[in-house]
């Protein structure tokens, strides 16, 4: 496809032309050998032999990055292939940009045409950066009105996970509960809609997607006793089109005639309310602060829901539907089509909001329309995305709270001694409440058929206690000190085969890998670490090809794009924060003279390796 176009541009530079030749031969090598580690899933690449396939095409031209994960499938895969295992060692910084904001830079920039769009953590400033000019000057800068009160209502730092582009507009959420649309050309606000209520602890941190002219957004606040929702706004006007709660009666959660879920125990009237004692569902959490996916062929939006509130399970006996669940909703109306509760009656803070990656996978000789989900609870699920049937579920990190998932019911078998309980200190539960994986999104490469997954290896003691709901304050009722998991490492970047449920390789890291992954057709996978290393690794075998120490710990997600000069660039935010960087790594801040925290024990000496920052780094060959 654009490889030809890119080569034309590359003629301008002999060096680049040479690189492209190298890249072509590398791609051929990959196709021929499929890599020693790729097991049963043959490499296919674009136009290759039949095998694993990303369900939805990349949004826009391959050289752009128009939506949070690059496509509706949440694959974080790019067809750009100039950077290869052979030349990745030559990567260097092309330019950098300070966002002017500290704290956790989760999320990723967008690239549309020759413009890059950056959204910062609170106060959620956005920048349009002109890539076509030397020195990358701004086209515009937008500073939204954004209530300061939001800072103290956000549980886990004041992060923002990015924007979406559609129809000449940039859409993103403000921490104080607003969704806004900005004219991509001028930086002027087109509309602004209040979606969340700060006084009830509702903030918004997630990245929206745009589906059929509607902006899909969801609330944060699972630790604040919110009643979680997902909603659609008219992209042209900002008018709310529909809103579905994730807990409560069928009418509110949009369970109706379209609801045909796979497991029998998930069918029944008003389960979103009756699986809770009394009216505890009204403050039961189930927020939507993670990533969204969409399958246009099935017209289904997929999203996870957060933990039930409070953490103290004694106050909410029952399945607590539809918290800690993956929900499939109609792309036009938000009606629920299927639901799969990943962790029924969660008592470990295992939100199910992690990304749902939509791929077609060859499983046992049959192509399956799959959804692959690496859950906080430590299981990697391969699910039929049309029906919600769990095809397989295997642990992808060390875990001890469950012995496995019963595929006839989809429910995990819980180890009795790891059940948390009010006024008990239950020790050594793995994974910790940060999960085997948290918000850091995985990537998928159709070349190797593998998923590239940033993971945590932490365990916890869990002390639940009674808590009273007070609107606008945390509704938690528990304390869960964390420690490193078995093996002496706290995170691992792994390659995973979702057709068999097996880890293929892993790179152990001293700290949880809280940044996301990017897979590329060049056969190189990128990720950043909490202690500030940005790495390029060989997709086939996990060999680290190159690394660079950026200005702050990485909790963001790499993207790649083609610059106006035809070269492939890779961009990443540096800016430690989020739950891991703010709450767990207590001593990494330096700009708060009134808030000097003691070193945390969970991440020993992280402050020796990094401190708060807010920078965009862009690399190229």
Partner 1 sequence: MSGKRTTLMRNQMGRRCLLLLCAATVVVACQRAGERSNASDTAATAASSTASGQNAASHLLVAGDSLRFIEHPENLPAGFPSQTKALLVKNPYEGDKQAISTGGQLFVGYNCLDCHGAEGSGAMGPSFQDGRWHFGGSPGEVFESIYQGRPDGMPAWGGRISNDQIWMLTAYVRSLSSKDLSTENFTGKTVERTGH
Catalytic annotation, residues = 223, 307, 349
Structure token digits, residue 120: 């910062």
Q: What are phi and psi of 521, to 5 degrees?
A: -70, -15
Q: Which stretch binds partner 1 (CB under 8 A): 398-406, 409-417, 429-437, 504-512?
A: 504-512
Q: Select the residue interacting with partner 1 from 20, 26, 54, 154 (CB under 8 A).
A: 154
Q: Is 476 in the site for partner 1 (CB under 8 A)?
A: yes
Q: Give every CB contact of residue 303 below 8 A, 6+ residues apart in sequence.
A: 218, 230, 288, 290, 291, 292, 293, 326, 327, 329, 353, 356
Binding of partner 1 at residue 148 (CB under 8 A)?
A: yes
Task: Select the residue interacting with partner 1 from 33, 425, 479, 601 (CB under 8 A).
Answer: 479
What is the strand order of the sheet 229-234 is part of? 209-211, 214-218, 229-234, 240-245
| Closer by beta carbon to partner 1, 265 or else 597 | 597
In the bound complex, what is the minimum distance in angstroms from residue 175's beta carbon to partner 1?
10
Residue 89 in the binding site for partner 1 (CB under 8 A):
no
Beta strands in 110-154 (DSSP E): 110-112, 115-119, 126-130, 138-142
x/- mask, partner 1, residues 523-552, rule CB under 8 A, reads ------x-x-x-------------x-----
Contacts 24+ apart (CB under 8 A), 139-144: 139/115, 139/187, 140/186, 140/187, 141/187, 142/182, 142/187, 142/188, 142/189, 144/174, 144/178, 144/180, 144/189, 144/192
Q: Smallest distance from the beta carbon of 486 to partner 1, in angstroms?
A: 12
Phi and psi at residue 340, to the nearest 5°: -130, 115
Tokens 């869990």 correspond to 462
Which residue in 168, 468, 486, 601 binds partner 1 (CB under 8 A)? 468
Beta strands 482-484; 502-509: pairing state:
unpaired
The answer to whether 591 contacts partner 1 (rule: CB under 8 A) is no
Minimum CB distance to partner 1 smaller for 446 or for 491: 491
| C-alpha distances out from residue 249 to 172, 187, 274, 314, 338, Å | 29, 41, 8, 22, 16
Of 140 and 475, CB closest to partner 1:
475
Q: Taking the complex as a whole, how short is the minimal distance between the CB of residue 226 and partner 1, in angstroms?
A: 14
**Burial class of residue 251 in the structure, from the number of CB atoms within 10 Å of its CB (0-12 exposed, 13-18 middle, 19+ buried):** exposed
Q: Write the CB contacts of 408 (distance below 8 Å, at least 6 apart in sequence).
A: none
Residue 94 or 473: which CB sits closer to partner 1? 473
Q: Could you say which residues in the range 222-261 bind partner 1, by CB under 8 A? A: 223
By C-beta, is 406 or 605 nearer to partner 1?
605
| Phi–psi pair at 573, nearest 5 degrees | -85, 140
Is 200 a binder of partner 1 (CB under 8 A)?
no
517 binds partner 1 (CB under 8 A): no
Binding of partner 1 by 398 (CB under 8 A)? no
Q: Does 467 bind partner 1 (CB under 8 A)?
A: yes
Pick from 607, 616, 618, 621 the residue near partner 1 by CB under 8 A: 607
d(CA 535, CA 517): 10
Report which DSSP code applies to 43: -
Q: Which of 285, 586, 613, 614 binds partner 1 (CB under 8 A)?
A: 586
Size of the site for partner 1 (CB under 8 A): 46
- Distance in angstroms (rounded) separating the CA atoms of residues 556 and 573: 5
Can residue 604 be called a binding residue for partner 1 (CB under 8 A)?
yes
Stretch that binds partner 1, among 95-103, 350-358, 472-480, 554-562 (CB under 8 A): 472-480
For residue 616 the two structure tokens come to 């965009």
CA atoms within 13 A on the CB side of 617: 27
Under rule CB under 8 A, residue 488 binds partner 1: yes
Q: Is 132 in the site for partner 1 (CB under 8 A)?
A: no
Among 183, 489, 541, 615, interactor with partner 1 by CB under 8 A: 489
Tell me how far, at minimum, the Cβ of 151 lies from partner 1, in Å: 5
Measured distance CA(544)–CA(506) in Å, rounded? 11
Q: List interacting residues with partner 1 (CB under 8 A).
A: 148-156, 223, 465, 467-468, 470, 472-476, 479, 488-489, 507-511, 529, 531, 533, 547, 583, 586-587, 592-599, 604-605, 607-608
């Amino acid at each position: 496809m654009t490889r030809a176009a890119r080569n034309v541009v590359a003629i301008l530079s002999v060096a680049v032309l040479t690189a492209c030749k190298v890249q072509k031969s590398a791609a051929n090598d990959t196709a021929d050998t499929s890599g020693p580690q790729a097991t049963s899933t043959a490499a296919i690449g674009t136009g290759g032999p039949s095998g694993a396939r990303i369900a939805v095409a990349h949004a826009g031209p391959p050289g752009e990055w128009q939506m949070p994960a690059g496509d509706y499938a949440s694959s974080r895969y790019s067809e750009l292939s100039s950077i290869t295992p052979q030349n990745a060692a030559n990567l260097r910084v092309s330019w950098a940009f300070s966002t002017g904001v500290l704290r956790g830079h989760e999320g990723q920039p967008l690239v549309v045409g020759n413009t890059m769009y950056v959204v910062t953590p609170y106060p959620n400033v956005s920048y349009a950066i002109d890539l076509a000019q030397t020195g990358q000057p701004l086209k515009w800068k937008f500073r939204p009105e954004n209530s300061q009160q939001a800072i103290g209502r956000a549980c886990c730092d004041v992060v923002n996970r990015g924007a979406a582009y559609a129809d000449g507009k940039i859409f993103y959420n403000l921490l104080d509960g607003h969704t806004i649309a900005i004219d991509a050309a001028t930086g002027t606000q087109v509309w602004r809609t209040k979606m969340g209520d700060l006084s009830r602890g509702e903030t918004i941190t997630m990245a929206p997607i745009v589906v059929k002219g509607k902006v899909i957004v969801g609330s944060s606040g699972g630790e604040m006793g919110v009643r979680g929702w997902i909603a659609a706004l008219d992209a042209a006007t900002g008018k709310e089109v529909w809103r579905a709660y994730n807990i409560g009666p069928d009418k509110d959660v949009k369970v109706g005639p379209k609801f045909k879920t796979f497991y029998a125990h998930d069918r029944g009237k008003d389960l979103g309310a009756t699986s809770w004692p009394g009216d505890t569902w009204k403050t039961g959490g189930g927020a939507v602060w993670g990533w969204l996916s969409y399958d246009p062929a099935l017209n289904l939006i997929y999203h996870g829901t957060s933990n039930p509130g409070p953490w103290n399970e004694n106050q909410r006996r029952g399945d607590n539907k539809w918290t800690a669940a993956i929900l499939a909703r109609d792309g036009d109306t938000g009606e629920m089509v299927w639901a799969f509760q990943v962790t029924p009656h969660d008592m470990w803070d295992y939100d199910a909001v992690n990304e749902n990656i939509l791929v077609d996978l060859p499983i046992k000789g049959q192509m399956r329309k799959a959804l692959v989900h690496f859950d906080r609870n430590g299981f990697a699920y391969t699910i039929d995305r049309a029906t919600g049937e769990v095809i397989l579920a295997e642990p992808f990190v060390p875990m001890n709270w469950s012995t496995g998932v019963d595929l006839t019911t989809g429910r995990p078998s819980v180890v009795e001694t790891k059940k948390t309980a009010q006024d008990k200190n239950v020790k050594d539960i793995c994974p910790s409440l940060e999960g085997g994986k948290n918000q850091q999104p995985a990537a998928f490469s159709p070349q190797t058929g593998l998923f590239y997954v940033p993971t945590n290896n932490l365990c916890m003691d869990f002390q639940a206690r009674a808590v009273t709901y007070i609107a606008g304050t945390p509704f938690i009722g528990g304390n869960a000190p964390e420690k490193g998991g078995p093996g002496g490492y706290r995170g691992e970047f792994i390659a995973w085969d979702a057709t068999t449920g097996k880890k293929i390789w892993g790179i152990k890291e001293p700290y949880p890998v809280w940044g996301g992954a990017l897979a590329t057709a060049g056969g190189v996978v990128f990720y950043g670490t909490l202690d500030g290393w940005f790495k390029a690794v060989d997709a086939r075998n996990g060999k680290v090809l190159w690394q660079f120490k950026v200005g702050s710990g990485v909790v963001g997600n790499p993207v790649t794009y083609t610059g106006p000069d035809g070269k492939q660039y890779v961009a990443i935010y540096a800016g430690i924060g989020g739950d891991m960087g703010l709450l767990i790594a207590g001593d990494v801040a330096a700009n708060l003279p009134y808030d000097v925290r003691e070193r945390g024990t969970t991440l020993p000496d992280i402050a020796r390796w990094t401190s708060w920052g807010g920078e965009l780094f862009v690399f190229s060959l």
